[in-house]
Structure 1
Amino acid sequence: MRSTCHPLKPLLTLLCGSLFVCAAQAELKPMADNELAEITGQALVTLDGLTYGGFEYTRVNLGAEIDLLTNIDELRLGNYSRNDPNTVSDQPADIRINNFALGRVDNANSSNATVVPFQVRDPYLEFAFKVNGQGIREVAGIRLGFGRARGDLSGDILSLTGNMQGLVTGSASTAREYYMAQNNLNAFTCTFNFNCLALSMAGNSEIFSEIQLVKNGTGDTTVNGLPINRATHIGVPNGESFHTDNATLEPLLPAISTNNGDCVASGLPACFPLVNYKSIFVGDRTQADLSIGGAQGVFFSLQNQNVPWQDLASTNNQFVATQSGAFANFAKSGEGANTIYPFIVSLYEALNGAARVPTCIGDLSKGC
């Protein structure tokens, strides 16, 4: 399935289809007054209204949990010509993902194939309206979002625009082994190489860093003060470094493990091609309960002007600023020790890439 004008249609179709199936299985019977008096609850569909920054918003909330397994040959949002200086690639669309899939299939090529769905809770569809210069109220944007989301997102990610705030974490020894292999070093020659020696001193300490969409070659997240769009890489932003909970090592890391505008930290790549990550787990894979392990604030949007969308994952009424075009929001929530990331990538995967999980039942791992 290919979608260029409205790439959210496949998800909306699946969403509605799931609701219709549930409705078809329910037999309607009248209830007595005394039975009704004992029941409290909320309607499946609710409407919310909001006014902010000259925009009027109408949000249609679906109080439901939906399990998805979907495959799309090519997913495009914002497929139009851009001349912005903050456009950092020659990709034709703001978001372009080939072989896009949600969910996975375990034991795919066997009689015991098991679907492990992409789970969403409280999905919603929201419209932003604004009065134009001629006094006409028009749609300025639309977004599809989820209260909670958890599961495997797969695809060949060729370009992304939006917020992608993840965490890369792993042992310093993993970085050392990679560095030695890339520079043809052994245990002896490593001691005469500054970067290799520094990583050796770190031993098995856990190192970590926040990663964002970045401009390849520099690690910049903005150009002329504006967020980049059509990014092809994700990594440690320019000026940021790896960190550790090791109190002895932490003061040294900014000196040896910082991206100084060249997409390199400790001699290692600090910016990684998005296409290397064939599958990303959204949410916390260690928490099977969607209420705990589900990522919050995930949404996809399309807008014909800069639109601020309410951040439903925040508790202080914050808004997410989006530029004209398409936008994907996988942003962290909370601060400090309470920060929750929508996805976590191991250091090994960051350096070597992540394989695609099967998303089809049978021999094909993609393109069902």
Structure 2
Amino acid sequence: MRRCQDTVFELESFLEREHGFIVPSYWRWDPHTPSVHDKNMKKVILASLSENVAMFSGRNQLGYEVAQTGQHVQLHPSSSLLVFAQKPSWVVFGDLLSVSNEYLVCVSAVEFQSLYDLQPPPSFDVSKMEERKLQTKTLTGFGTILLKRFCGKSNSNLLGHVSRIRKACLDERIFVEVKVDENLIQLYAASHDMNTATMLVSDVLEYEKKRLRTECMEKILYHGSGSASPMALFGSGAEIKHLELEKHSLSVDVYHSNINAIDDKELLMFFEKNTSGSICAVYKFQGMGKDPPDREKWGKITFLSPDAAKRAVELDGDEFCGSNLKILPSQSAMGGDKTFLFPEVKARIFWPRRLSRGFGIVICDKNDVNIE
């Protein structure tokens, strides 16, 4: 404002000295009282500096785009226009100051319509410049975990998303800003590219939602006194591997007089064929240090249902590799023949993306066991 005041004094002195003209008091400019002279003055400034027109890009980080060069420049921090906290859409500047950064100085706001009234017309296409202005669109309604997955570690995923959108729209100015704390995403794109940018972002978010639905998070239940604290898996992607209803066993112990002669693969194929292919898990019993009763024990096989385990037990006495198989139901991990005070439903569960050996027990009414 001081430079502006000095310029006014210099013009008044010139008029009085060279032309003997004293400026009337009612011509004096009052910044607090708008008048028709303000509009006329802006027209004069614009006509004399028609090559120094810049348009606000639509994003604060980019600043203003110089119409002649396409260069993005910020207003100088001392500009009075910044006091109003809302950058005007179109400005005309006196100089381009180059220090550590480049800034527009001696800047005046101009009306968009006045650009069409310039004579001669400006050398740039006003309509195309206006179409290039970035628009803002806000997307909300996402969880913190989803937004963090969208951004990735150190925003690596976010940078990749922005790069793909820019490539699809052929515009390097497009930007995606994620505010996790405010649970929103802001898109910056030209009006004709906004739908494409929104669609691409929505596709990525939907993909991440699907991944979250098939994954789980691992959390410490409490810090135990031992070396390992108990863990629990949370997430909707769990699948039930098998159920143990009441005292119906899912596992069988397999015995053979010559376990060294057994081909493990052939034995499993034998059980698969005779139990409708419902093997869930296999545990091979180790031969070192066995007590005499367990020297013929090959291992344990777990099935998906009690019926499959029952069919496996019926194979007891069948010949395999020159000797008869001995197949017995495994003792229940919950206590064998112990009488429970509640109907027991024991479910083996796992997450496809994070294997777990855990199990859950559901306590329910006796009539609801089969439903569970």
Structure number with the higher strand fraction is 1
Over alpha carbons, which structure has the higher Rg? 2
Name the TM-score class by shorter chain: under 0.3
Normalising to structure 1: TM-score of the pair? 0.19
Greater relative contact order (Cα < 8 A, sep 6+): 1
Report which of the two has the higher share of helix. Answer: 2
